Homo-oligomer: A and B are copies of this chain.
Amino acid sequence: MTRDTTPAELEQTLADAAEAAVPLAASAPAVRAGWIRAVADALDAASGELVPIAQRETSLPEARLKGEVGRSSGQLRMFADALEAGPLLEVIIDTADAAAKPVPRPDLRRVLVPLGPVLVFAASNFPFAFSVCGGDTASALAAGCPVIVKAHPGHPELSVRTAEVMIEALTAAGAPAGTLGLIQGYDVGVTALKDARITAAGFTGSVPAGKALHEIAVTRPEPIPFYGELGSLNPVFVTQAAIDARGKDIASGYVGSYTLGVGQFCTKPGLLFLPAGHGLQEQLVEATGGVAAATMLNERIAEGFSSGLDRLRKVDGLRVWSEGGGATLLQTTVGELLARSDEILEECFGPVSIVVEYASVDELVAGIEAFGGNLTATLHAEDADASLAARLVPLLTARAGRVLWNGWPTGVAVSWAQHHGGPFPSTVGSIHTSVGVTAARRFQRPVAYQDAPDALLPAVLQDDNPAGMSRRVNGTVTTAEVSR
């Protein structure tokens, strides 16, 4: 069924999620990890069925989609591992200290517990990795939260079928009914967001939609956290030394990155800052001209891209270097960008990017300072640039969640250290990530047990550490037992 969820169906989905929250919160970490691994295995097993549906609905190529399934199942397993080993629960134990000053200290044991049902607004551009089986769902399940996914209308059949595969695996593995639910329809999603049973929401999408949903979430009678990944320009800054050393590689790498996946990545590099006289125009134009036209994710995105291009074409100071075919390359200078930063620094989702030429290091710095928050900022520099780079790094750090050297921002590795987030407007909630192990933290709250008898504590907090978890005890991380 790819129609809007009815009010009765929504009510049932919310009731099921609320009911599942209790046994999910009580589930042992290793057991929950098993459920999550079962979902990962089922996804891999269903790849042959799901990928063709995704191809048909999103126009993305098979190889990319197969990789995305692998990324998504791998992500689920990463969360399962971190849950079972302990770090995801952030156990902290301070044993009693009768000699503590100014007052004796009780025995305190802190663990992260799940918030409750989480609503996930799926994205269109990653039909697996940021959709029904994506990072928000994986991290919320690992946290112990039931998840209701509001399907993206760009891939409705895939969403329904993915949810069925996941629910079947969860059920077979013994997870509570209601652990995962799927709803469809924008208004249905808004109704769910306002429902008292929903305790947090994740969102990946546009700035206007994200801001509207954020306001609903935080002004409810009981405000809930809303983690929104909105828009990002992902500027790239190149030094003269880097041009001298590997200008051609930079030109081809850049065009490859901004046109990857038809430019439909939240980490697409939207601007490339080059020193004036870089001599790369010909190569950039040639590489852009060689990009084949490709179908975008859906009509709405294609129309948005088309009108965005029309808008950019009319901005004074932006010149077209290459257009037609599969990509559009524009050019301007730092001076012109600063004069019209509101117009030039508005994200256009799709295969378009802007070369910005700077005449001096001061202009480069001024160019960096024109940016607000971004998911990423990239520097291409050489060893000889050490003092310049040292000046630029703090400026990039202040504006981005991920700072890259001599690479391209598209492609977000799933690992412990990853951070996919950034200052507003790239996200609402810059202190959180939507990729990497710490993403689970968005859906957990701490509870501290004071002077509790060992037998009544959750197993992860008990003296003998039955699951051999990593815990912080009196300040030090250890898997050792605790003595009172």
Q: Which A residues form the contact surface with B (CB < 8 A)?
A: 22, 25-26, 67, 70-71, 74, 85, 87, 92-94, 100-103, 105-106, 108-110, 113, 115, 214-215, 218-219, 222-223, 225, 383, 386, 389-390, 393-394, 397-398, 400-407, 411, 413, 415-419, 421, 423-425, 428-431, 433, 436, 438, 441-442, 444-453, 455-456, 470, 472, 474-475, 477
When the two chains form their complex, are residues B417 and A452 in contact, meaning their CB atoms are under 8 A apart? no
Query: Which chain B residues border A416 with CB–CB below 8 Å?
Result: 92, 94, 472, 474-475
| Beta-carbon nearest neighbor of A389 in chain B | B456
Report the bound CA distance from A100 to B436 in whole Å: 15
Determine whether the beta carbon of B417 is less than 8 Å from that of A431: no
Copies per complex of this chain: 2
Q: Is the CB of A25 within 8 A of B394?
A: yes
The answer to whether B110 and A419 touch across the interface, beta carbons within 8 angstroms, is yes
Give, as a whole number of angstroms, the nearest-CB distance from A389 to chain B: 5
A415 lies within 8 A of B447 (CB): no
Choose one: B74, B110, B419; the contact of A448 (CB below 8 Å). B419
CB-based contact B415/A108 at 8 Å: yes
Known contacts A70-B101, A222-B424; A419 and B394 CB within 8 A of each other: no
Could you list some 12 contacts between A and B, CB below 8 A? A25-B397, A85-B475, A87-B472, A103-B413, A110-B419, A113-B397, A115-B430, A401-B448, A403-B447, A405-B449, A417-B472, A470-B477
Q: Is the CB of A431 within 8 A of B418?
A: no
A431 to B413, CA, bound (A): 26
A93 neighbours in B (Cβ, 8 Å): 417
**A402 with B450: CB separation less than 8 A:** yes
Instruction: Specify the chain B residue showing the minimal Cβ separation from A383.
Output: B453
Asked whether A424 lies within 8 Å of B215 as measured between CB atoms, the reply is no
Q: Are B218 and A450 in contact (CB under 8 A)?
A: no
Q: Shortest CB–CB separation between residue A43 and chain B, in angstroms?
A: 13
Residue contact A417 to B222, C-beta cutoff 8 Å: no
Q: Which residues of B contact A444 (CB under 8 A)?
A: 431
A453 in contact with B405 (CB, 8 Å): yes
Q: Which chain B residues border A445 with CB–CB below 8 Å?
A: 401, 421, 423, 430-431
A411 / chain B contacts, CB cutoff of 8 Å: 103
Bound complex: CA A71 to CA B398 (Å): 34
B433 touches A446 (CB 8 A): yes
In the complex the two chains form, what is the Cα distance from A93 to B113 in whole Å? 26
Q: Which of A403, A424, A442 has the most CB of B within 10 A?
A: A403
Assembled-state Cα–Cα distance A477/B430 (Å): 25
Instruction: Tell me which of A70, A400, A418 has the highest count of chain B C-beta atoms within 10 A of its own C-beta.
Output: A418
In whole angstroms, how far apart are the Cα atoms of A407 and B108 in the complex? 12
* Contact partners of A425 in chain B: CB under 8 A: 222
Least CB distance, A446 to chain B, in whole angstroms: 4
Once the chains are docked, how many angstroms separate the CA of A455 from the CA of B385?
12
Q: Which residues on B sit within 8 Å (CB–CB) of A403?
A: 447-450, 452
Contact partner of A214 (CB less than 8 A), chosen from B71, B223, B386, is B223
Contacts A92-B416, A106-B407 known; 9 new A-B pairs at CB < 8 A: A87-B475, A103-B413, A110-B419, A383-B453, A401-B445, A402-B449, A403-B449, A406-B451, A431-B441
Pick from A405, A413, A425, A470 the residue with the most CB of B within 10 Å. A413
Contacts of A25 in B (CB 8 A): 394, 397-398
Contacts of A74 in B (CB 8 A): 101-102
